[in-house]
Structure 1
Amino acid sequence: MESQVMVLGAADYVVFALVLLVSAGIGIFYAFSGNKQKTTGEFLMGGTQMKTVPLAISILVSFMSAILILGTPAEMYREGTQYYLYTFGLIGAIGVSTLLYVPLLYPLKYTSSFEYLEKRFNSRAARLTGTSIMIVQQVIYMGVVSVAPSTALEAVTGFPTWATIITIGLVATFYTHLGGMKAVVWANVFQGVVMLAGVLAIIIRGTYAVGGLSEVWRINEEWGRIQFFDFNPDPTVRQSFWSLVIGTAIAWSHTYGLSQATVQRYCALPTLRQARLSVILNIVGVILLMTSVCLAGIIMFAYYAQKGCDPLSDTKISNPNQLMPHFVMEVLGYPGLPGLFISCLFSGALSTMSSSLNALSAVCWEDFFKPVLGDRLTEAQETLITKLLVLFFGAADIGVSFMTMHLGGTILQVCLSFTGAATGPMLGLFILGAFFPWANWIGAVVGGVLGLVFPLWISIGAYTVVGTPSSLEYPTNNCSVPNSTISMATTMSSNLTTVQGPVEYTGISTLYTVSYLWYPAIGAATVVGVGLLVSAMTGMNRVGDVEPRFLVPFLYRRCLPEVVRTPRRCLPEVVRTPRGCDTEGSGPDDKEKAPASGYVSRTRCC
C-alpha cells in the first residue's frame, strides 16, 4: 500500500513561514544592533555579557533537536516506556558537569575548549586531535539532524526531502552568519518555545482522542508497554537500566560540560556562579521535554491500539521515523496545528545546526587560522574569516545531509550511534588531562585516535549485523492488508528485525551487537586506557609538571598531596590570589591568603 500523503492548508504554511522569518529576523537584528558583530569576541562569544536563562535554554535546545521530537516518541511506541530512564542519565550528566567540568574550564576563559588540551599537555598536536574529532562529530550530527525532519515530512506531506534539507541549511546559516552568538542564543530561545508548543499540542489533542491519560496508561499496560527496569548487565542488550542511565550519563557529561557549544555559552557569562547555574537549569528543561516527548509516544501507541492497526504493519508509512508526523496529520486536524508541528521539527533542526555552526567556526578560527594568521590580520578581517567559516560549514552540512538520507533504522539510533562514537574520545581526552596528571601528550594523541577509530568501527559494523527482534506485539486486527503481508511489512519496517528469532554471533561479530548506548563509554575508556599505557611507555609527567588549574578542582583540593598542588616552578604571570580580586600578588608566598581553588593571572580574575 502507498503511504498516505496529507495536504497542508494555507494556515499551516503561514505558521511555518512565520517561524522561519522570525528566526532569520533575529539574525538581521543582531547584525545591525550593538557592536554589529564587528569583532570575533562579539561574534563568537556575544561580548561575554550574556544572560543566564537565555543561555540555559540555548544549551538545552542545542542538543534537544528534531531527533528528540521524532525519535523518542517512536522509541517509546516500539519498545515501551523503559527509554524514559534516559532522562535520569541526562540529569546525572548535568550534575557531574556542574560539579567538575564547569569549574575546570570556566576560569580559563578559552574561546575554543580544545585550547585546554594544548595548555594541559603542552602540545599543539593534542589540541588538534580533539579539534579534528569534534569537526567530524559535528558535521555528521548536523547532517543527521537536517535529515530527521526531511524524510519524515516527505512521507506524510509530500514536501520534498531536498527542499527541507536546503531550507534548514540556508536559514540556519543565514542568521548565524549575520548575528553570531547573540542571534543563535535568542533564536534558540524562540525555537525552544515553538518546540514545546508543538509537543504540548500533540499531547493535548492525542490524549483527548484516546479518552484521557488514564486510558492511555491502561492500554499501554494491557499491551505490555509499561516496563522501566531491566537490570540485565549484558552489554549487548539494546537498552537496559545500566546503558540508559550509566551509559547516557557518561556520554552527556561531555555534552553539558566539555563540548564546544556548551563551553562557548557558559564562558560568555560574567561569573562562575552564573555559568554553573546555566548548566544546572537544564535539569528542568530536560525533565519537561523528555517527559513530553515520551508521553507523546505512549499516547500515539494507545491511539493506534484503539484503531486496531499499527501504521508500520499496515505499510501506511515505511519506517519508524514517520510515526509522529503520520500521527499528527491524523489527529491535529485543525488549521495551523500541522503547520505548528512542522515548525516544531524545523525549530529543533535549526537550533542544533546554528549552535553547531557557531561552535565549528569558533574552533576552526582559534585552532587552525588564528595561530597562523592572527598577528597579520585586522579585527575586521578576523571576523570576516569566522563568518566565512559559518558559510563553509553550512554548505558542508547540506552536503552531508544528502549523503545520510538513506541510512536505515530509527533516526534516534543513527544519531546516537555515530555521534556517540565521536563523543567518547573527546570526553576521554579531557578526562585523561583533568584526572591523570602523569599522562603526557603522546598518550593523549595516540589514545584520542584509537578512541575514535574503535567505537566508530563498531558503529559501522553494527549496521551489517542484525539485532534482536522486538518481543512486543503491535495491533493489527483492523489493518487493511492480510496478516501474512502484515508480518512481512513489520519485519521489513525496521533494520533491527530483518530476521525471525534470535541469531548467535561469535568472534569479532559479537562486538557489533554491543548496545549503541555504550559507544561513548567505549571511546572514553579506550582513550584513558591507551593514553595511560602509552604515557607509561614514553615517560610519564613528573609530580608538579602540570599546573593545578588544569586539573579538576575536586581532585587537587581533596585527593592529591600538597606537593602536587604546589607547582615546582613559579611562572611570573601566574600567582595565587583570592578569587574576585585583581591583585599583583607575589607568588607562592601568598598562599595563606588564597583559597586552594587555583591560580589566576595578574590581569584577569578567575
Structure 2
Amino acid sequence: MAKQFGIWDWVVFGALLGISALIGVFYAIKSHYSANTDPTGEFLMGGRKMHLLPVSVSILVSFMSAITILGAPAEMYTAGTLYFLYILGLILACVVSATVFVPLFYPLRLTSSFEYLEGRFQSKVAKLTGALIMIVQQVVYMGIASFAPSTALEAVTGFPTWATIVTIGCVSTFYTFLGGMKAVVWTDVFQSTIMVAGLLAIVIQGIFKVGSFNEVWKINKEWDRIDFWEADPDPTVRHSVWSLIIGTAVTWTGAFGVSQASVQRFCAVETFKKAKASVLINIIGCIVLVVLASLAGVVMFAYYAQSGCDPLSAKEVSNANQLIPYFVMEILGYPGLPGLFVSCLFSGALSTMSSCLNALAAVCWEDVFKPLIGEKVSESTKTWITRVLVAVFGGAGIGFAFMAKNLGGTVLQASLSFTGAATGPLLGIFLLGGLFPWANAAGCVVGGILGLVMGMWVSFGAYSLPRSGFPLDFPVENCSLPMVYNNATASSTSATLSVVQHFYTVSYLWFSSIGTATTVIAGLLVSLCTAPCFPKQDVDPKYLIPLFDRLFCCFPESWRRLCRCG
C-alpha cells in the first residue's frame, strides 16, 4: 500500500470514537438528573417520545452498516451492475413493513416484539422461542458487522484485526450501556452523516480520477459490467431479477417489519402516523446509501481498468472485502480523507452493534427477567439489569466477530446468508400468528425451530462447498504478477455434487425465504395435527393482519370486501 494513515487521519478517526462515547455520557447524565418515574422504559424506549427523523435514521443504519459499505462496492466490482436491482427489493420491503406490520405492532405498545407472540398464542414458550431465534440472529449479525471494518483497517493501516474488533465492541457497548435508546438513536444520526460523507468522497474523487462519469460508464460497459436483467428462474443462479427483488424483499421485510431493532424504534415515537412514516422514510435512505455504495464499486472498476491492473489478480489485497479501502488509500490523498473513510466504516459497525445491543437487552428484560423478578426489585435495579445485559451481549458480539474471520466471500454475502437464515423463521412465526387464526402455539414453536434449523443448515452447507473463480474478466495487462483469478478455467463442481449439495448451491438471497416458508408450512401442519390438544380459542382481532385491507387500502371498499377471506 503506497499511502498510510497520517496524523490527520487518526485525528478524524479518534474524533468519531470520542464523539460517539460522549453522546452516551451526555444521555447518562441527563437521565440521572431527570425526574422520570420509569427509568427502565426511558433506557429501552426513550420514554416513547422519540422524534420521527432520528428514529427513521436509526432504523436505517441499524441494518445498513459497514457490511454495505464494503460489500456493495465489492459486489459491483466483481459481478457487475445487476446488484442495483437489490434496491427494488428494499423499497418493496419498506412498503410491506409499513402497511402490514406497523399497524399490527404499534397499537399493542410493545417493548419486545415477542410480547405479541405470547398474546397471540397464549403461550410463554412461543414467546421464548421467538426470543431465542432473535438472540441467535442478532449475535451473528453483530459479529459480522464488527468484523467487516477490521479487515479494511488492517489493509490500509496495519492496525491489527483483533484490536479493531475489540475497539468497536467496547465503544458501542460503552455508550449503549450509559445512554440507552436515546444515545443509540442520536449516535446513529451522527454516524449516518459520516457514512454518507465518506461514500460521497469516494465517488466524487474516483470520478475525477477517471475523467468523467460518462467515461466510468463507458469502461464498465466495455468490460461487460453493465447488466440489469437476468431472469433465469433457476434458484441456484447467484443473482437474478427474482432473487434480488423477491428474495431481498422477504429478507428485509423481516428486518424492517418484525425485527426487534425496528419494532422497538417505531414503537418509541408518539403517534401511529409517525411510526408508519419512520419506516417509509427508509426508502429514501436505502436508495441513497445503496446507490452511493454501488457507484463506488463501478467507479473503482473503471479506475483499475484504466490502470490495467486488478488488485485482486495482482494479490495487492487478499480478498474482495479489502478492495474499497485499498482504492481509498490510492485516490484520497488529502490529509484526513482516508481517516474519514475508515470512520465511515466504523460508523456503520458502531451503529449496527449498538442497535443490536439495545434490542437484545430489551428482549431479555421484557421476555425473561421481567416476568421472574419485575415486581421484586426497584426501578434503579431494573435499569442496572438492562445495562448488565448490554455488557454481556457486547462480549458475545466481540466473540462471534473473531469467529467471523473464517468466513469466505464478501461480508455482504456472509451477512445476508447467516442473518437471513435466522430472519426467515422470525418473519415466518409472525406471519403464522397474524395471517392464520387456526395456527396454535405448538405450530409456532415447532415451525420456528424447524425454520431456523433449515435456514442455518443451508447457510453452513453452502459455505462448506468449494468456491469457483469470479465469472467476469479483470484487467491484468499491466500487473507485475501473474494472474491469480483465471476466470476462463474457473472450476465448476456442479457435475460432482450430490443431491444434498445441489441444495446448498441455492442463491444466498433465498435463504431467508426458505426459512420463512419452512416455518409457515411446518407451523400450519403441526397446528392441524395438534388441534385436538388445544381448545379452540377466538383470536382477538388486534393480533391478526387484515391483509387485503392493508395491502389494498386505496381500493374501493366494495372491491376489498370481495377479496376478504371469511
TM-score normalised per structure 1? 0.88
In the TM superposition, residue 554 of structure 1 has moved relative to its aligned partner by 3.7
Identify the residue that residue 485 of structure 2 maps to in structure 1. 490
181-190 vs 396-405, which deviates more? 396-405
In the TM superposition, residue 439 of structure 1 has moved relative to its aligned partner by 0.4
Report whether the alignment pairs 1:420 with 2:420: yes
In the TM superposition, residue 545 of structure 1 has moved relative to its aligned partner by 1.4
Identify the residue that residue 518 of structure 2 maps to in structure 1. 526
Identify the residue that residue 554 of structure 2 maps to in structure 1. none
Residue deviations 1:104-130 (CA, integer Å, cap 9, x gap): 000001100001011101111111111
**Aligned with 1:25 (options 22, 25, 35):** 22
CA gap 1:561/1:159 in 2 versus in 1, 3 angstroms: closer
CA gap 1:498/1:448 in 2 versus in 1, 3 angstroms: farther
Q: Distance in 2 between matches of 1:347 and 1:184?
A: 12
SS in 1 for 2:325: helix
CA gap 1:536/1:5 in 2 versus in 1, 3 angstroms: farther
SS in 1 for 2:485: helix
In the TM superposition, residue 6 of structure 1 has moved relative to its aligned partner by 3.8
Asked if the contact 1:5–1:155 (Cα under 8 Å) also holds between the matched residues in 2, the reply is no
**Aligned with 1:503 (options 488, 494, 502):** 494
Identify the residue that residue 549 of structure 1 maps to in structure 2. 542
Asked if the contact 1:548–1:556 (Cα under 8 Å) also holds between the matched residues in 2, the reply is no
Q: Distance in 1 between matches of 2:255 and 2:216?
A: 34
420-429 vs 551-560, which deviates more? 551-560
Code of the residue aligned with 1:551 in structure 2: it is L
SS in 2 for 1:432: helix
In the TM superposition, what are the counterparts of 1:82-97 in structure 2 within 5 Å? 82-97=82-97
In the TM superposition, residue 455 of structure 1 has moved relative to its aligned partner by 1.4
Asked if the contact 1:466–1:498 (Cα under 8 Å) also holds between the matched residues in 2, the reply is no
In the TM superposition, residue 403 of structure 1 has moved relative to its aligned partner by 1.8
Identify the residue that residue 205 of structure 1 maps to in structure 2. 205
Q: Any unmatched runs of 5+ in structure 1? A: 565-606
Q: Distance in 2 between matches of 1:563 and 1:542?
A: 23
Code of the residue aligned with 2:148 in structure 1: it is A
Q: Distance in 2 between matches of 1:502 and 1:81?
A: 26
Code of the residue aligned with 1:369 in structure 2: it is F
Q: Distance in 2 between matches of 1:66 and 1:84?
A: 18
Q: Distance in 1 between matches of 2:2 and 2:517?
A: 47
Identify the residue that residue 44 of structure 2 maps to in structure 1. 44
Identify the residue that residue 63 of structure 1 maps to in structure 2. 63
Q: Distance in 2 between matches of 1:251 and 1:296?
A: 24
Asked if the contact 2:435–2:547 (Cα under 8 Å) also holds between the matched residues in 1, the reply is no
Identify the residue that residue 598 of structure 1 maps to in structure 2. none
Identify the residue that residue 16 of structure 1 maps to in structure 2. 13
In the TM superposition, residue 503 of structure 1 has moved relative to its aligned partner by 2.8
In the TM superposition, residue 500 of structure 1 has moved relative to its aligned partner by 2.0
Asked if the contact 1:6–1:158 (Cα under 8 Å) also holds between the matched residues in 2, the reply is no
Asked if the contact 2:236–2:505 (Cα under 8 Å) also holds between the matched residues in 1, the reply is yes
Report whether the alignment pairs 1:294 with 2:294: yes
In the TM superposition, residue 490 of structure 1 has moved relative to its aligned partner by 1.9
In the TM superposition, residue 498 of structure 1 has moved relative to its aligned partner by 9.9
Q: Distance in 2 between matches of 1:159 and 1:216?
A: 32
In the TM superposition, residue 543 of structure 1 has moved relative to its aligned partner by 7.5
Q: Distance in 1 between matches of 2:406 and 2:211?
A: 37
Asked if the contact 1:435–1:555 (Cα under 8 Å) also holds between the matched residues in 2, the reply is no
Identify the residue that residue 73 of structure 1 maps to in structure 2. 73
Identify the residue that residue 232 of structure 1 maps to in structure 2. 232
In the TM superposition, what are the counterparts of 1:226-375 in structure 2 within 5 Å? 226-375=226-375
CA gap 1:400/1:207 in 2 versus in 1, 3 angstroms: same
Code of the residue aligned with 1:166 in structure 2: it is V
CA gap 1:469/1:312 in 2 versus in 1, 3 angstroms: closer
In the TM superposition, residue 464 of structure 1 has moved relative to its aligned partner by 1.7
Q: Distance in 1 between matches of 2:7 and 2:468?
A: 44
Structure with larger RCO (C-alpha < 8 A, sep 6+): 2
Q: Distance in 2 between matches of 1:254 and 1:261?
A: 11
Q: Distance in 2 between matches of 1:91 and 1:468?
A: 32
Count the aligned residue pairs.
Answer: 552
Q: Distance in 1 between matches of 2:408 and 2:565?
A: 55
Asked if the contact 2:2–2:330 (Cα under 8 Å) also holds between the matched residues in 1, the reply is no
CA gap 1:371/1:543 in 2 versus in 1, 3 angstroms: closer
Q: Any unmatched runs of 5+ in structure 2? A: 551-559
Q: Distance in 2 between matches of 1:347 and 1:526?
A: 35
CA gap 1:244/1:556 in 2 versus in 1, 3 angstroms: closer
Code of the residue aligned with 2:161 in structure 1: it is T
RMSD: 1.9
CA gap 1:560/1:549 in 2 versus in 1, 3 angstroms: farther
Identify the residue that residue 100 of structure 1 maps to in structure 2. 100
CA gap 1:415/1:333 in 2 versus in 1, 3 angstroms: same
SS in 2 for 1:471: coil
In the TM superposition, residue 362 of structure 1 has moved relative to its aligned partner by 0.2
Report whether the alignment pairs 1:399 with 2:381: no
Q: Distance in 2 between matches of 1:12 and 1:562?
A: 60
| Percent sequence identity over aligned pairs | 59
Higher helix share: 2
SS in 1 for 2:464: coil
Code of the residue aligned with 2:19 in structure 1: it is V
Residue deviations 1:275-311 (CA, integer Å, cap 9, x gap): 0011100011111111100100000000000000000
In the TM superposition, residue 268 of structure 1 has moved relative to its aligned partner by 0.6
Q: Distance in 1 between matches of 2:427 and 2:32?
A: 35
CA gap 1:417/1:561 in 2 versus in 1, 3 angstroms: closer
Asked if the contact 2:148–2:411 (Cα under 8 Å) also holds between the matched residues in 1, the reply is yes
In the TM superposition, residue 178 of structure 1 has moved relative to its aligned partner by 0.5
555-564 vs 183-192, which deviates more? 555-564
Q: Distance in 2 between matches of 1:26 and 1:100?
A: 34
SS in 1 for 2:407: coil
CA gap 1:563/1:59 in 2 versus in 1, 3 angstroms: closer
In the TM superposition, residue 66 of structure 1 has moved relative to its aligned partner by 0.2
CA gap 1:5/1:308 in 2 versus in 1, 3 angstroms: closer
Residue deviations 1:349-380 (CA, integer Å, cap 9, x gap): 00000000000000000111011011101111
Identify the residue that residue 376 of structure 1 maps to in structure 2. 376
In the TM superposition, residue 35 of structure 1 has moved relative to its aligned partner by 5.6
